A and B are shown apart, each in its own frame.
Chain A
Amino acid sequence: MSVVAERLFKRIGKNAIVTDVSFEARAGELVGLLGPSGGGKSTVLRMIAGLEEPDEGEIYLCGKRATDLPVQERGIGFVFQGYALFKHQSIAQNIAFGLEVRKVPKAEIDRKVGELLALVELSGFGARYPSELSGGQRQRVALARAIAPDPRVLLLDEPFGALDAKVRLSLREQLRRLTRERNMTVILVTHDQEEAMDLADRVIVLHRGRVEQAGTPHEIYDHPATEFVASFVGATNVLRGEVRGGRTEIGTLQVDAPPGDHEGRAVTAIVRPHDIEVSKHPDPQPTEADSNSNGPNLAAAKIERLSRVGPTVKVRLKLEDGQSLTVELTKERAAELNVVEGDWVFVNLRETKIFVQDYAI
């Protein structure tokens, strides 16, 4: 079942929470609503569920207008951020709730609850109470309860937010498997860009109540449409520069200017930590990027800090003009360079995204 949000607007008091948000989740698709907290993601999700009313705009479920449909009739499953389990009911009763409300025969309910408990790997926990479970277990109960009435659409509001990293990863797997098997359309709200990138077929980046970009994780990561997306998704360095003489100058570094005439304007350059090359000497061998430009495109930088993170070495650098830069090197490359904190090295930017600064800001 497809979900369409069309030009949604929502204000609370004087604050615009959601401004002109449109997107579509096709049937069977897993869409991630990604953005920082307070970006309006949860409000959008709650409007789709019918828990909140949009000031303007329409919601379509399966091609039919659902804007005025009560929550109960939308056929959606919802997983709340705090799980919202019925704390005075056992786990089995929690899962059975949606079936009982629909007057499903008792034997059928028992069978289904047993199935769902097994599915979320909580067989034998049916008689326990929510307070007796761990966070991850509660999360799985919330998921089982939401999918028990077989909704066509599953909405999840920061479902893994309060869990530790390991539990989060395994639950992510479980969620993907469960919803794929049932061919559910899933919309997931998260502030964790890695989670969105990992889980979603498509990601919609929301910032200050507006859609910044919608696309596949690949598109979002490699071709960020705005400076915000580029800096929010993935680890990034943000450098300030200026367009001068058809080139973008960042300190002593030069990269291509963005298309169009922006002569003299301030720009922001976004560089991924693994798109930076570090060398000990101003390397004479020309790289591909260099051959297009006048002379080697290098800048001297001082190593402020070296730290080992898993298989990579993080190098914190300071350019001559005072701007900071974080570089990620493989541990082999780091060993090859053989540098220590305080050394001077040369950096070369392999790939940068340039965004012209808006005068309005």
Chain B
Amino acid sequence: MPKKRGKKRSWGRVFLIALAAIYVVSLVFVPLTTLVAGAFSNGVAAFFRSLFHPDALHAMRITLWMVVWAVFLNSVFGTVTAWVLVRDVFPGKKVLSALIDVPFAVSPVIAGFVLIELFGKGGLLRSITDALGIQVAFAIPGMVLATVFVSLPFVVREVMPVLAEIGVEQEQAAFTLGASPLTAFWRVTLPSIKWGLTYGVTLTAARAIGEFGAVLVVSGGVAGRTETATSFVYRALEDRNDVGAYSMALVLSIASVALLLAMEKLKHRRTGDAYTTQTDVSATSPTMALGAPQKVEP
């Protein structure tokens, strides 16, 4: 009797399901509800008012800038670095590869601290930046450096395996057809690595939005000047501006969740992509193709 059996077994299952539910709900859902409740505790108007406060708007703009800069710099240099690490053989390659992961290993606060040491008063590189008329410490350039540093590994680590997998043959084929190295990169390599790159960019953006320690240390978090969205939350809590803190925190959470969902979707695209590689030359089944017609109901 399948029905009875199913019931018998279900006690253990119910227990496990309940355990999982309690675990996730208490750790994720409860804080999230608190966040929503806190943000709207003084009504919808207060929520919007606190978000449209000049300091809050400025903080969001700064965070957006951090995201834009981190994404831009890390996509360009991350792709170049991945390229060099996969395609070239040179002395010190292993060391360079190991250095890529340092930002994951080192605490962001230390990263911020090092930047202050370098660019702050009497810093090692201070004379150079002073001569160029750029202020790095306690200013936007330092914050960009901190954000780029903490999110540096993502693009490199996502693009490297894709580059390794596609190999050099497609590029060489482009060369034999008359394409310059640049044309080959734009038309052959870049489309092949685009999902890896996009995935890396998504992770970079998420990290840039969420970064707190490194940026706070290097910027000092001056309201209306060098304050990011995360430092805004921190300061609002200290100032007992609970609605302000909750509202901003809610916005940040929504942004992160949106990125998370986008990432999940990309993951599927990427695995779908992997099936279309030509490495298996004996594969003759056309059904595995990306975008192949879904199953047709009779």
Chain A residues packing against B (C-beta within 8 Å):
49, 51, 70-72, 76-78, 80, 82-89, 97-98, 101-102, 128-135, 138, 145-146, 148-149, 162
Contacts and interface: CB of A to CB of B under 8 A. Distances in A.
Interface in B163-184: 169-170, 172-180, 183
B286 A133 contact: yes
Contacts of B279: 82
Shortest Cβ-Cβ A-B pairs, 5 listed: A98-B177, A84-B169, A132-B286, A131-B276, A78-B176
Given A131-B288, A132-B286, A134-B284, A101 B278 contact: no
Contact of A131 (B191, B282, B286): B286
B274 to A, nearest CB: 11
Interface of B: 169-170, 172-180, 183, 187-188, 191-192, 275-279, 281-284, 286, 288-292
11 contacts: A72-B179, A82-B278, A82-B279, A86-B173, A87-B276, A89-B191, A101-B174, A129-B290, A130-B276, A149-B177, A149-B178
B282 A98 contact: no
A89 B170 CA distance: 11
Nearest to A130: B278
Given A87-B278, A88-B191, A101 B177 contact: yes
Contact of B276 (A76, A80, A97, A129): A129
B234 to A, nearest CB: 44
Contacts of A133: 286
Given A129-B289, A131-B278, A135-B282, A86 B188 contact: yes
A88 B192 contact: yes
A46 B282 CA distance: 24
B284 A51 contact: no
A162 B179 CA distance: 27
Contact of A84 (B170, B284, B286): B170
Nearest to B291: A129
B191 A80 contact: no
A51 B175 contact: yes
B176 A71 contact: yes
Given A80-B169, A86-B170, A86-B188, 9 more contacts: A72-B175, A72-B176, A78-B173, A80-B173, A88-B192, A101-B179, A132-B286, A132-B292, A162-B282
B50 to A, nearest CB: 46
Contacts of A128: 286
A76 B278 contact: no
Given A80-B169, A84-B169, A131-B286, A145 B177 contact: yes
Contact of A49 (B176, B187, B191, B289): B176
B170 A71 contact: no
A83 B278 contact: yes
B275 A131 contact: yes
Contacts of B283: 131, 135
A162 B175 CA distance: 24
A142 to B, nearest CB: 8
Nearest to B284: A134
